[in-house]
Structure 1
């Protein structure tokens, strides 16, 4: 499948099958994250795999958007290792974590798995539930797994603004 087809096919999965994600597929998803570009190639990403019943129960206390997936990935980035822009000191944890997460999301899609980007979570609850050190910034949570038989994209999934509304040349 070419990239545009893959990008069109991917949608936020909200209805998961109970099947577990195979280790070889998880390994490919993690490899895609490892290969993702980060600022100055500092690679500050830290990925927590949430797969045990106990860990998944903890996740449910941190967000309502877990969708009962059989696994979730918590993507974090290390503030001490992330690149800092010299002009204003912006630390690129959220950007690097997002790039890594996007690579993993698209790899999961190619493997027939579904994900949902969850940014709506209680960061303090996540930090406490999973003993996240203070130097790691939680960026997003990915419930991940196989689509259930009744899974389908949200009706808004295919709605896109005209490209002329989102692209400008040389000035806005």
Structure 2
């Protein structure tokens, strides 16, 4: 699978089978995030791959009404410290974590895994559950696993509505 195929076939999966993810696949996903570009190559992002069932269940509780999160065999959390505003006004932490998580999501897709990007969670509760210091920014979490359903393809804007060439 090439990158554009992974982009085209990726779906937000919200129900996972109980099949464990092979360690080699988790390592490849971790490498995809580790190798992602960061502002000034500061490499401040860190990821936690949560496999412990009790911790996964605690994180699911921190996701409010999304109890299906507990069906994921792994939840990836991404966070960073040492925030600064880039010249464009954006947080380097949030941007760097988002790039790394996107790379990991695409690698998961290539490996036949489903995932979903989540921002609907109690960040303080998740940080406490996984031991991330209070002053760090937890940018996102991503449940990952073998899909129990394929996820629904979403309609996307046509290219001519998305891009302008000047």
- Scaled by the length of structure 2, what TM-score is found? 0.90
Decide whether the 8 Å contact of 2:20 with 2:73 is kept in 1: yes
Query: How big is the alpha-carbon RMSD for the aligned residues of Structure 1 and Structure 2?
Result: 1.7
Q: Deviations over 1:97-127 (max 9, x none)?
A: 0000000011111111111101111112222
Correspondence for 1:152? 150
Decide whether the 8 Å contact of 2:124 with 2:134 is kept in 1: no
Distance 1:158 1:56, change over 3 A: closer
Partner SS state of residue 132, structure 1? coil
Per the TM alignment, residue 128 of structure 1 is displaced from its structure 2 partner at its CA by 2.7
Residues in 2 aligned to 1:123 and 1:15: alpha-carbon distance in whole angstroms: 22
Decide whether the 8 Å contact of 2:32 with 2:103 is kept in 1: yes
Partner SS state of residue 46, structure 1? strand
In the alignment, which of 72, 75, 84 is matched to residue 75 of structure 2?
Answer: 72
Correspondence for 2:41? 41
Partner SS state of residue 97, structure 2? helix
Correspondence for 1:98? 98
Distance 1:2 1:121, change over 3 A: same
In the alignment, which of 148, 157, 161 is matched to residue 157 of structure 2?
Answer: 161
The runs of 4+ residues in structure 1 deviating greater than 4 Å are none
Distance 1:50 1:87, change over 3 A: closer
Bigger radius of gyration: 1
Matches within 5 A, 1:100-115: 100-115=100-115
